[in-house]
Structure formats: C-alpha cells, structure tokens
C-alpha cells in the first residue's frame, strides 16, 4: 500500500490497485427518473482524510430524499457543504451518486482509523450524508465516525434498510425530542405517519424503551404497525384524523412524518406546560436555501422556526424541527438493540443493481410499508 504523504491521500496499491473505476448509477443533471445512468466507469472513491474508510457496498437502501435529490432538491445546501469556499463551478457535483443507506465490508482504512474500531473485512452499515457520494455504487468512502459495525443478525439487505431512518429518528426523538431509554417509560408518543421508513423504525425504538405509542396510518397498514408493537392505531383515511386523535389522552411528544396541514392541529394534542414537544421532519429548510440562496434561505428558516417556536411556547408546548444527522455512535446503540431482538428491519421490496430505476420509481410512488433496498454485490 502506498501513502501519498503530502496530501494524506491513500491510494489502493494492492490486488485492488488497478481499481480506478467502478460500476455505479449516476446522474449528470437533475430531473425525473430518466436522468439515472448506469456506468462501469464511475470514479473509484479514494481516502482524502486519514479518518476515512473505503467500503465495498453490498446493499443500498433508498429513501424519499433520493427521489427529491434526483430532482435537484437541496442542491444549494449540498453544494455549500461540499465546497464551502465556492471554488468549483456550478454542476461540479456531477456525476452524482444517490443512495443514503449502505451495508457492506471495509476494504481500506485511513491511517488515523484505530484498528480497535475498524479494520479491513469488518461488516459495517452507515447512513451517508446527502452531500457525499452515495451507495448506488460498488464502493463508497466515508468518515469512520459515520460508520458502525453492522448487526450480526441482519443480512446486508436487511441492514441497508435501517441506518438513514434510524439516524433521522435518533436525531428527532433523542437529540431534539429529549427522549432516551431511561425516560421513555409510560410516555405517550404520537407518530403521524407510522407505516413508512421513519415510522416503522421509530415505533420499534420507542416500544423497546417502554413508551406508549399511537400512530396514524392507512387502514391497510394497521397489521404491519401492530406487528411492530404499536399500542393504538388511528386510520387517517377514515376522515379528518385530528377528530379521533383529539378524543385521546394528550401526548408527551408528537413526531410528524407527514407535514402539510398537520401543524395546524397536532400541537393541540400535546400536554401543555409540562415540556411536551412537537418535532416535525417535514421542514422547508432545504427548499428555502434552493429558492433564496444560502444566506437568505437560512435567514428565512431562522425567522420561521423562531416565530413558530415562540408562538407555541406561549401555549405551553415546544415546536421543533427534526433533521437527519449522520451518527455512527447512535448506530452502535441501534446495532445492539437489533442484535438483542428489540428492533427488526422492515424490508418491503428488494431490487437488483440493474433495477435501480424501478426501485427509485417504487419510492417515488409513495405508500411505503417499510423500506426499498437494492442488492449491489
Ligand atoms: P416513507 O415514504 O418511507 O413513508 C411515508 C409514509 O407515510 C408512508 O407509509 C405513507 O403511506 C404514509 N402517509 C402518507 N400520508 C399520510 C398521512 N396523511 N397520514 C399518515 N400516514 C401517511 O417516508 P419516510 O418515513 O422515510 O420519511 C417520512 C417523512 O420525513 C418524509 O416526508 C421525508 O421526506 C421526511 N424526512 C425528513 C428528514 C429530515 O432530515 N428532515 C429525514 C428523513 C425523512 P400511505 O400513503 O399509504 O398512507
């Protein structure tokens, strides 16, 4: 192996050495599903920082953000994260590789990656930040702190169904909502949208921590969510869902995976003046920066969230936005919960690598019942 000392760049010089290209699904511009292009000549990922690892991807999970990013959603913020000094020309992100969930095997570790944590051959899983090249490719490079050892009891396909929704749920429920395994017992939690990726994961984590969980979902998803341990199900297709919800005892936390008009009534379902929180995952943050540019978009975001938080604080409840955040340490905890049988992967449909366009269309159609996963190798 060769280490290029000057820029800390580590290059493959083993049996893998001639791997300068790899197969991947890429996009060269934003648009609908026909922008997806398969190539055998995508650039092989290289370690640019000593805390990075190269992983051979075995399975990639898809999320609604892949469909949105295919269409250009979040492009302004992602460009700033990739190139904070704005040196590169617009469009320099292409060819862009989508895919946020990854399960695979470590092929190479940067010099600062302690062998106590990771070594070549380790089976790992990760949620890939949206500003990095994704998992619809044979290899991906990630920071070691974004990666975690995959649960032993899951196949790669099952493991690729978990990290992005798990890291999002962790960020929303633990970091923003203040919940943890020691304070959840008997707390009443409402999940708006229980049948998709975030919902099916959040239900299981909250039940493992002893919470009382109510979800809204379509009637035909009731069996799925009951099987994950939900205590109470409200069918949102049967009429205005806020009516049956108002008849229930009030909640300590509402996790909103639905958005739209939910904000107009969901905060009224919280227990007032006792720290109860509404956390929504459906926020205009990236749309604001796409529409207004980074500075004005962030300003608009700050004004919106602060004014809503103040308005609801005066009524005794907390209003918050939840955001995905990469978190290898949280994945370590989740891995233990999976291996202890407390959380299972909910794979709705599996596709082959050649079927990536079909897999994207499946996610785009909505009505998810768990996760869509692509087998890569
Ligand atoms: P999915 O597409 O996996 O699931 C959405 C689920 O919601 C589907 O099962 C759908 O089924 C159900 N649903 C749709 N409308 C309603 C409704 N009115 N009431 C109850 N359920 C409904 O999405 P995810 O779980 O991955 O993500 C959920 C939301 O969170 C998405 O909007 C996503 O963009 C957002 N998100 C935000 C993140 C952030 O960083 N802020 C990160 C991750 C996700 P059906 O239509 O059949 O009822």
Separation of CA 236 and ligand 1 centre (Å) = 13
94-116 residue pLDDT tens: 999 999 999 999 999 999 998 88
Kindly report the length of the chain.
Answer: 377
Q: Is the model more confident about 293 or about 60?
A: 60
194 CA → ligand 1 middle, Å: 8
**pLDDT in the model for residue 12:** 45
Q: Reply yes or no on whether the pLDDT at 10 is more than 80.
A: no
C-alpha angle 58-25-161 in degrees, rounded to nearest 5: 40
DSSP string, 288-353: HHHHH-HHHHHHHHHHHHHHHHHHHHTTT-EEEE------HHHHHHHHHHHHTTS----EEEEEEG
For 274-295, write each residue's pLDDT tens digit.
Answer: 999 999 999 998 888 988 999 9
- Is the Cβ–Cβ distance between 109 and 120 less than 8 Å? yes
Taking the centre of ligand 1 as the mean of its atom positions, its distance from the CA of residue 281, in whole angstroms, is 9
Predicted pLDDT at 86: 87
Closest-CA residue, ligand 1 atom 13, reads 193
At 5 the pLDDT is 29
Q: In this structure, how many other beta carbons lie within 10 angstroms of the beta carbon of residue 74?
A: 19
Nearest to 111 by CA among 53, 183, 68: 53
- Look at residue 4 and tell me whether its pLDDT is greater than 50: no
Evaluate if residue 25 carries a pLDDT over 70.
yes
What is the pLDDT confidence band of residue 6, given thresholds at 50, 70 and 90? Answer: very low
Q: How far is CA 208 from the centre of its chain?
A: 20
Task: Give residue 18's pLDDT band: very low, low, confident or very high (50, 70, 90).
Answer: low
List, for residues 174-222, the tens digit of each pLDDT value. 999 999 999 999 899 999 999 999 999 999 999 999 999 999 999 999 9
Please give the average per-residue pLDDT across 64-90, as a whole number. Answer: 93
**Residues 66, 127: contact at Cβ < 8 Å?**
no
Cα→Cα distances 287→78, 197, 281, 295, Å: 12, 22, 13, 13
Confidence check: pLDDT of 2 > 60: no
Residues 316-332 pLDDT 10s: 999 999 999 999 999 99
The chain-wide mean pLDDT, for the chain, equals 94
Percent of the chain at pLDDT exceeding 90: 89
Q: How far apart are CA 119 and CA 111, in angstroms?
A: 11
Q: What is the DSSP string of 18-49?
A: T--EEEEEEESS--SGGGEEEEEEEEPP-B-S
Strands 188-192 and 232-235: unpaired
Predicted model pTM: 0.95
Alpha helix positions (H), the chain:
64-70, 75-82, 156-159, 163-169, 197-208, 222-227, 242-246, 263-266, 285-292, 294-313, 328-339, 356-365
At 7 the pLDDT is 37
Cα(160)–Cα(127) distance, integer angstroms: 9
Token reading at 23: 């197969």
pLDDT at position 34, please?
97
DSSP classification of residue 73: T
Output the ligand 1 site: residues, CB below 6 A.
63-64, 165, 168, 192-193, 195-199, 216-218, 236, 257-258, 281-283, 322-324, 366-368
Please write the tens of the pLDDT for every residue from 111-129.
Answer: 999 888 999 999 999 999 9
Ligand 1 atom having least distance to the Cα of 363: 2
Q: How far is the CA of 229 from the centre of ligand 1 (A)?
A: 19
Q: Which residue has the tokens 């089976």?
A: 123
């Amino acid at each position: 192996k060769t280490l290029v000392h000057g820029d800390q760049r580590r290059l493959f010089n083993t049996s893998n050495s001639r791997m300068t290209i790899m197969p991947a699904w890429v996009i060269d511009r934003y648009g609908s599903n026909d922008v997806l292009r398969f190539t055998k000549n995508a650039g092989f990922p290289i370690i640019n920082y000593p805390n990075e690892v190269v992983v051979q991807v075995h399975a990639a999970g898809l999320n609604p953000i892949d469909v949105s990013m295919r269409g250009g959603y979040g492009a302004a913020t992602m460009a700033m994260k990739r190139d904070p000094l704005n040196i590169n020309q617009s469009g320099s992100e292409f060819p862009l590789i989508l895919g946020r969930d990854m399960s695979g095997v470590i092929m190479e570790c940067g010099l600062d990656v302690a062998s106590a944590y990771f070594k070549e051959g380790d089976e790992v899983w990760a949620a890939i930040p949206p500003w990095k090249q994704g998992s619809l490719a044979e290899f991906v490079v990630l920071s070691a702190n974004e990666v975690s050892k995959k649960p032993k009891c899951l196949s790669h396909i099952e493991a690729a169904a978990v990290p992005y929704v798990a890291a999002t749920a962790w960020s929303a429920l633990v970091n923003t909502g203040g919940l943890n395994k020691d304070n959840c017992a008997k707390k009443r939690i409402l999940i708006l949208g229980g049948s998709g990726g975030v919902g099916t994961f959040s239900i299981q984590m909250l039940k493992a921590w002893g919470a009382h969980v109510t979800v809204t979902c379509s009637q035909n998803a009731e069996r799925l969510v009951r099987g994950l341990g939900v205590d109470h199900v409200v069918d949102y297709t049967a009429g205005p869902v806020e009516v049956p919800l108002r008849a229930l005892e009030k909640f300590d936390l509402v996790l909103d995976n639905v958005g739209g008009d939910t904000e107009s009534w969901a905060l009224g379902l919280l227990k007032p003046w006792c720290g109860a929180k509404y956390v929504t995952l459906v926020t205009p943050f990236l749309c604001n920066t796409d529409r207004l540019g980074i500075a004005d978009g962030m300003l608009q975001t700050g004004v919106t969230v602060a004014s809503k938080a103040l308005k609801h604080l005066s009524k005794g409840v907390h209003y918050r936005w939840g955001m995905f955040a990469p978190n290898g340490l949280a994945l370590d905890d989740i891995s233990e919960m999976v291996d202890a049988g407390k959380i299972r992967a909910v794979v709705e449909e599996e596709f082959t690598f050649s079927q990536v366009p079909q897999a994207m269309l499946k996610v785009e159609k909505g009505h998810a019942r768990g996760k869509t996963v692509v087998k890569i190798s």
